[in-house]
Amino acid sequence: MPGRSVSHTSPCMTPIPDRTPFAPRPSDRPIRLERISWKADPMPLNRFGYGLRLVLAALLLPALLGPLPAQSDLAGSERRSALAPDISVAGDLVFSWSDEEGRAAGADGFDLRAVEVGLYGSLDSRFDYTSVIHFSSEEVELEEAYIDARDWLPGRMTLRGGRFNLDFGMQNRIHDHDLLTIERPSVLQEYLGGSLRGTGLELQWWSPLSDDSVIRISAALVEGVEGDSHAVLGPAAGHEHGEDEDEEERPVRDFDDFSINLRAVASVDFADESTLQLGGSYLLAPENVFGLDEDDERELDRGVAGLDLTYTRLDESTRRGIFLQGEWLIGDRDFGELDDNGTPGDDLDDSFLVTNARSQGYHALAEWRASRDWAFGVSGSSYEHAEDSDEDSWDLGAHVTWNASETHQLRLGIRKYADLAQEEEGVETTSDFVAVQLQWTMVFGRHVHGVDW
């Protein structure tokens, strides 16, 4: 039940023996609250974010420095031990192959998608901290760092401060190497840019509705929401950490320009060892940009709403069962573009055009868990393009997962992409192809996640 802190396994992770980093909890049902580790994207520093980072650095400094010199005071020794972080390392290697059109879209061989080093610990009985360093073939960065304040606020409330994945839908909080599929659903890449990340504060509250049901509500106020993607294939492939965004200087935010993210989800247990979850999410993320010049400030609105449904049935003794999940998203977003009116180099007749696009899409997943070590699944997405709802794309694939050992997981997948749209250097191309992928995931150490419902 919520409030319980246990080892890593999301409901989207195929169960394998209990002694492993991938091991399921005593109950594989997704009702729980615990600490979560996420990756996060780099974002511009302003006064709000800079202050948060200073506070966060001050809180994390004792843990990052490690144990202090020995003292005779037993209480002091225990406190130093509590501050020392648990460390985990996770690796994600993907091999992709396709025909010539698919290779041009990214299915062209090996990709070390990520190596993550996570630090998890407690400052005292009320505060937990998490930080994750991400290594890829092109960069090394501190992806996320936040503090969880528990047993600090009245009632069943917790407060998170720092840089974190937003509480949107069922998959936004989950790392790529913890997903049930090799790639994040294409509709999430198209509308969210992969995983939504921001810097700010998030308040959560939960309450039982009955002996077998619980509700959780969260509200976050953050700045600079950006999509972070490590996809090999999909609409966001090749655009890590908001690389598709313009890097030019933007106007200073007013307070009402900060982004708001809301989520409510209810979970119900049934007598036949099954669980049903229904959730709704909403993101409002306005963006200030310069139009024709620095005196021409414009506000572009971005809104995304989603409804998600998850059903899990699992036999506790054999670890056999099914996992079903679906999510429907609606996007409403402004796009700004500078138009030279056919006279390049002449700024006098330039105009800044703002257009609005509304679109919708969905993704669905079904997985049969045959045993502790094997699982078989199918999944797909269908969506209108975020910038032009007259254009649409879809994909459909199947996968098999084998938990090969205590620390290693292999997944083989095949997927058909139809009218996959990708943009490079301002030019959008579409492609149709079938890709085969092999994923090798490795997790060592205490890998902590939670609040994935």
Is 19 domain-assigned? no
Q: Cα torsion for 166, 172, 176, 180, to the nearest 10°?
A: 150
| pLDDT mean over 12-37 | 34
* Residue whose structure tokens are 């998600």: 308
Residue 16 lies inside a defined structural domain of this protein: no
Q: What CATH code is carried by the domain that includes residue 108? A: 2.40.160.10
Domain presence at residue 1: no
Could you read off the pLDDT of 327-372 as tens digits, one per residue?
Answer: 999 999 887 766 666 666 656 656 667 788 899 999 999 999 999 8
Is there a domain that residue 264 lies in? yes
pLDDT by residue (tens digit) across 412-439?
Answer: 999 999 988 877 665 677 889 999 999 9
349 in any annotated domain: yes
Query: Token digits for 215?
Result: 């509700």
The residue among 321, 324, 215 whose CA lies nearest residue 272 is 321
Domain contains 101: yes
Task: Please tell me what DSSP assigns to residue 13.
Answer: S
Higher model confidence: residue 1 or residue 422? Answer: 422
Domain count for the chain = 1
Domain range spanning residue 372?
Answer: 47-445
More confident residue, 339 or 232: 232
Alpha carbon 263 to its chain's center? 15
Burial class (CB within 10 angstroms; exposed 0-12, middle 13-18, buried 19+) of 132: buried
Contact between residue 263 and residue 278 where contact means Cβ atoms under 8 Å apart:
no
Confidence check: pLDDT of 96 > 80: yes
* Cα 119 to the center of its chain, rounded Å: 18
**Residue 279 counted as domain residue:** yes
Provide the mean pLDDT of the chain.
Answer: 77
pLDDT at position 427 is 65
pTM for this structure? 0.77
Q: What percent of the chain has pLDDT over 90?
A: 40
So what's the pLDDT on residue 452? Answer: 61
What is the arithmetic mean of pLDDT over 303-315? 95
Q: What's the pLDDT score for residue 104?
A: 84
Of residues 44 and 137, the one with the higher pLDDT is 137
Per-residue model confidence (pLDDT) at position 122 = 87
The SS3 assignment for 280 reads: strand
- 130 vs 145: CA distance, rounded Å: 6
Residue 185 belongs to some domain of the structure: yes
pLDDT of residue 14: 37
